Structure formats: structure tokens, C-alpha cells
Chains A and B, each alone.
Chain A
Amino acid sequence: MMDTFAALAHGMAVAVQPMNLLYALIGVFLGTAVGVLPGIGPALTVALLLPVTYKLDPGGSLIMFAGIYYGGMYGGSTTAILINTPGESASMATALEGNKMAKAGRGGPALATSAIGSFVAGTIATIGLAFLAPWLVDFAVRFGPEDYFALMCVAFVTVSATFGDSPIRGLTSLFIGLTLGLVGIDKLTGQARLAFGVPELLDGVEVTTLAVGLFAVGEALYVASRRHHTEEKLEPVRGSLWMTKEDWKRSWKPWLRGTMFGFPIGALPAGGAEIPTFLSYSTEKRLTKYPEEFGKGAIEGVAGPEAANNASAAGTLVPLLTLGLPTSATAAMMLAGFQQYGLNPGPLLFAERPDLVWGLIASLFIANCMLLVLNLPLVGLWVRLLAIPQPWLYAGILVFATMGTIAAKPSVVELSMLAGFGVLGFLMRRFDFPIAPVVVGLILGPIAESQLRRALAISLGDPMTLLQSPISATLLGIALVALLAPFVLKGMGRFKANED
């Protein structure tokens, strides 16, 4: 307990250094500006802004990341409220009620309750992170390689199969990611896999190239292909920006309840903020005194899901920082940010670079406060960003997307891969395959493989080692249940449907 306070105080001392405060401010500002653009979620925001941090030292860059992360989340909800295009599925609940509020001329209070709710939830969840992390680290130190492998199996299954529309399509995405993870030199034997004699492929597939290709290029292609279907309409922010006393009274409980849903579910290695946001939405719908307003712009329906979304974003940092386990596309991009400095999040990082980890956690608090102060006054600026005509908007997004790759590796092969991943992202959107499992598969696949091989080398090739460790056996059992559950439930659903 006291250790956490001491560590956090030390982190604060790192975070309030003037340069670091400036990095956090730039991060928050850029994160919101990019996150507010329609169709750009937090994961893509982080991916697009990675090149900006290339030349910074790791500490400064991670602090900027913290700002970008929270800024991107906040920007996404602004877009959801004002033009009803949620950048990611976790903002869908916000768009549901928030856009109706904006249409009814209550866009200001909707933005305010989402900003203040995000602040409340983000702060509580970051405190949760600060206290849960050291405890989990103590636990994770005892993990052997077989336990890590089993843990990754859980993450693979929950990210791809358990919570999506179709377990088959989710697993297909995951296996495409795992395949991409094989490309390059095998670290243990030095042999090239799936490189086909192309020297650029020996280093493997770059996570940022994949993410930017799938998210940015894929999204641009997809939106362009169905431009004739949808007409986006920007709702002007009319009336007062401030919440009335009544709004406050109706918001504070949903904020707290949303946080209670968001943080634990985000902290589990299950990934995704969709579940807590929809749980929060349906809970508020059930508990409200104004059920007639739901579907027409109820403030509880914005306050709860927004808090849940932000709390779960902070929650996903728990497995990311303590176990090195990304459970969402955004967390995967954060991991890529660590990896560009050769840093691997996990128990070791807490022991070796406490200044870095705790500086990052402290910066989350600071970024949160900055967002609260900055965003409501600047909402006019963000709205103007939303008004950029679509052709220039997507042209600009693509220029930025390719610039990241050009800056990192200006080779024809790398740029062709970017274009190829763009086509893949387009096809996956068109045929309704989830995107995040590809990114998680690419990042975690090679780590899982090396842990498994290490475990088997220690046990002299005996695969029973996976079941002899109680941690690993339990985790593999959970993974198996999580894999089979959607199929069994679907089968039961079909059975019931036949009976009717």
C-alpha cells in the first residue's frame, strides 16, 4: 500500500517536469484533434501519431502516448455525439443517445457529461490501475513460460471468438494475424520463415504498417466504396455548453456505475470496451426515472457508457503494463510504442524502469485533468475540424498514414505491404471480419510461440508441462471454455428457435 503511494509520488515527480508536462499537453491536443476526425478511433490515432514520437526519449514519448490515448478516446466520443459516426464499437452506445441529444439542441450538455464522466471514470480507473498493478506484478513474477503461453491462449480466444458476432470469422482474423507474425527470421534458430527471399521481410511485419494499413487505408477504401449510401450530417452545437443542475443529478450515478462496469472488465484479459459500454447502457435504461427519453436523447445513456468506455481503456492498461498482454487494438498499438524502444512491458519493466512505468501512470492522471480543462472551451475548434470536407479529410488521412511508413522505412516493399494491408482491411470490413484480432495475433503470436518453445525446452520436450503447472492448467481450461462457449450457446439458440 505505502509502496504504491511512494511509487506514484515518484511518478508524479517525473511527470510534472516542465518538458514532460509539455509532452503530455501536445499528446492530449494531437490525440483529440486526430481522434475527432470521423472514422478514426483511438487505435488508429495512436498508430498515426507514432512517428511524431520517434525522436523523443522513451520517457517523454510514453508520456505523450498517455495523452494521445486519452485524447483519442475523448475525440472519438465528440464525433459520435455530433455526427453519429462512432470511430469504434465502444462509442456506439454514446452515439445512440448523444446524437439524439445533439439533434434536440442539447449537444453541449451531452459533450459536457461525456467529458466530465470520462474524467471521473478515468481518474478512478487510473487509481485502480496504480493499486492493482503492483499486486498483479507480484503474482506475475511467479509465472513460468508455460503460464505465459496459457495466458496468451486466453487472450487469443477472448479477443477473437468469445465476444464477437461470429467466432469463425473472429478466429479467421486471429489466424491471419498469427500467420503474419511468423514472417521473418526465427529468433531461436536464425532461419527465415515466409520471407520468400525478400530481404525486407526478414525483419518481420511491422505492427504500425499493419495497423495503419488495416485501419486507415482500409477505412478510406471502405468509406469511398460506399459513399453513395450514407450522408453524414454534422449537428451544430446549439445552446448552452453547460449542464444544468438536473443534468448533474442525472449524470453522477451513471458515471460511477459505468466505471464499475468498465474497469474490471477492461482489466480482465478479455479485451474490448463494447461489453461494459453496452452493459452500462442497458443498466441505465433499466434504472432511469425517465425511460420515455431513452432512444430520444437521455443524458444517462451518454454519461454511463462514456464512463464505462474510459474506465475500461484504463483497465486494459493493467494487463498491458503488468503482463505485456494487449487485449485491444489500442493496447496493441501502445505495446508497439514500447517495443520501438526495445522495452517489454511486464513485471521486469516495473523492477528495472520504475521511473518510466510510474511516470506513465502519473501522466495518465495529468492527461485526464488537461482534457477536462481543455476540451469544453475548445469544443468550437473540434467542431470546425469535423467540418472538413470528406475528400480532403480522407486524402489528408492517407497522406499522414503513408508518411508514417515512409518515415520509418522508405522502401517500395514496405509501402506495397501498407497498400496490401489496406486492401485486406477493406475486404475484412466488407465481409464483416473483425480487425483487432489481426493486430493482436501479429503482436502476441511470436511471443506466445517463444514462450511455448522455452517451456518445452525446459521440460525436455514433454508437453505435459502445460498441464502440470496449476496456473497454466487453469488458464488453458478457461481458454477452452471461452472457445467452446459461443458455439454451444449458438447451438442452444438454434435448438430453441426450432422449438418455437
Chain B
Amino acid sequence: MTSGDPAQPPRRVDRAGIVIAALLAGLAAVLVWDARGLQSTAMYGMGPEAMPVVIATGLALLAIGNLIDALRGNLPARESADPVPVVLILAGLALLIAIIGFGGGFILATAALFVTTSAAFGRRAVLVDSVIALVMSTLIYLAFDRLLTLSLPAGPLERLL
């Protein structure tokens, strides 16, 4: 009868669960705040502000439900997570958005995302990956922009093609 006993699991307050409950409650508050700015023009039945309030009520109830689960320690067990790769991939996405935003074009943007993601998954050969990424993005650009005539954003590299 040690820690393996299912009848008496270790009941610990789950802090992440409390944060989740707080976020849900916050979301409910935003919904109500936003709905207050709407004008009900419907003569009969529901106006546009009714549904946000209904959903906000649901979110508030679910915030309480999640809070109870968190306080009871009812959340499923989690394995440890490594934050470094997550940050690397998010940095890659930020880089992609910045390059697209400043007109750097599709090829450079997706190549940047490719290299950071590959590094996040443990590759250290940045130069090799950069070459692979540039070739791949160029091929994708040609296939989709020229063959399928989707318009992908063009930058300095795309204008050379």
C-alpha cells in the first residue's frame, strides 16, 4: 500500500490547472465586456449580444469545473517538457512573420522556419540545412506560384526567378 494504491492517489493542487481556470474566467469576462458594446436591434428573439453572454456563462462554469479539478489534483499526469525547442520553433515562426511582413518573400521566410525547426529537433548542421531549405522553398514556390498559380508573396529572391 504505497504510492501505487489507486484508492489513495497523491492529491496535490495543480498550479497549471488554476492558471487554466483563471484564463477561462478571463475569456468569459472579455466576452461580456465585448457584448456590452453591441446594440440589440432585433425586434423579436435574440440580438447579437445574447450568444456571447450564453457562451461566457458556459466558460465561467467551466472555469469553476477546471478549478475544482485542479484543486483536487485530478488532472492527468504530465511528463517533463523541454522549453528550448518550443522557443526555437516559435522564434522561427516569428522570423517568418517578420520576413513576410517586411516584404522579404516566401522563399526566405519559409527557409528561416525550416532551419529553426530542424535545429529545434536536434540538428546542428545549420549550413547544410539552410541550403536544403532554400532549394526546397524555391521548388515549392515554383510549383505553387507558377504551376498552380497561387499567389505567394514575392521578395528579392522571387523576382530573380
Contacts and interface: CB of A to CB of B under 8 A. Distances in A.
A152 to B, nearest CB: 13
B5 interface: no
Contacts of B100: 406, 410, 412, 415
B3 interface: no
B4 interface: no
Nearest to B34: A194
Contact of B117 (A196, A394, A460): A394
Contacts of B88: 224
Given A172-B62, A189-B42, A395 B133 contact: yes
Contact of A398 (B66, B81, B94, B114): B114
Q: Which of the listed residues B31, B41, B76, B97 has the most CB atoms from chain A within 10 Å of its own CB? A: B97
B83 A225 contact: yes
Q: Which of the listed residues B34, B47, B51, B90 has the most CB atoms from chain A within 10 Å of its own CB? A: B51
A166 B69 CA distance: 10
B137 A229 contact: no
A415 B121 contact: no
A295 B155 CA distance: 55
Interface string B98-117: 00110000100110011101
B101 A419 contact: no
B69 A398 contact: no
A391 B123 contact: yes
Nearest to B137: A399
Given A392-B132, A412-B101, A172 B42 contact: no
B39 interface: yes
Nearest to B60: A175
A217 B93 contact: yes
Interface string A426-458: 100011100000000000000001001101110
A239 interface: no
A51 B76 contact: no
Given A395-B113, A406-B106, A449-B51, A456 B86 contact: no
Contact of B62 (A168, A189, A406, A430): A168
A2 B48 CA distance: 46
A394 B121 contact: yes
Contact of B86 (A166, A225, A415): A225
B96 A415 contact: yes
A430 B7 contact: no
Contacts of B79: 226, 229
Contacts of A342: none
A286 interface: no
A420 to B, nearest CB: 10
Given A168-B65, A392-B118, A395-B118, A431 B86 contact: no
A179 B55 contact: yes
Given A191-B48, A395-B133, A403 B110 contact: yes
A402 interface: yes
Q: Which of the listed residues B62, B83, B137 has the most CB atoms from chain A within 10 Å of its own CB? A: B62
B131 interface: no
A426 B133 CA distance: 25
Contacts of A175: 55, 58-59, 62
Nearest to A453: B46
Given A175-B55, A391-B117, A402-B110, A407 B144 contact: yes
Contacts of A166: 69
A178 B93 contact: no
B59 A228 contact: no
B134 to A, nearest CB: 12
B150 A54 contact: yes
Given A55-B150, A168-B69, A179 B27 contact: yes
A264 B40 CA distance: 43
A189 B47 contact: yes
A286 B16 CA distance: 42
A496 to B, nearest CB: 12
A457 B94 contact: no
Nearest to B78: A430
B35 interface: yes
B149 interface: yes
Given A179-B31, A224-B85, A419-B97, A456 B121 contact: no
B48 A172 contact: no
A182 B31 contact: yes
Contacts of B137: 399
A193 B38 contact: yes
A460 B44 contact: yes
A498 to B, nearest CB: 9
B44 A457 contact: yes
Given A51-B144, A221-B86, A189 B120 contact: no
Contacts of B129: 391-392, 395
Given A194-B34, A224-B82, 7 more contacts: A221-B85, A221-B89, A402-B109, A423-B90, A426-B86, A452-B46, A497-B7
Interface of B: 7, 16-17, 20, 24, 27, 30-31, 34-35, 38-39, 41-42, 44-48, 51-52, 55, 58-59, 62, 65-66, 69, 75-76, 78-83, 85-86, 88-90, 92-94, 96-97, 100-101, 106, 109-110, 113-115, 117-123, 129, 132-133, 136-137, 140, 144, 148-153
Interface of A: 51-52, 54-55, 165-166, 168-169, 171-172, 175-176, 178-179, 182, 186, 188-189, 191, 193-194, 196, 217, 220-221, 224-229, 389-392, 394-396, 398-400, 402-403, 406-407, 410, 412, 415-416, 418-419, 422-423, 426, 430-432, 449, 452-453, 455-457, 459-461, 497, 500
19 contacts: A54-B150, A165-B76, A178-B58, A188-B42, A189-B47, A193-B34, A221-B85, A221-B86, A224-B89, A391-B123, A392-B123, A395-B133, A398-B89, A398-B113, A406-B152, A416-B97, A418-B93, A430-B81, A460-B44
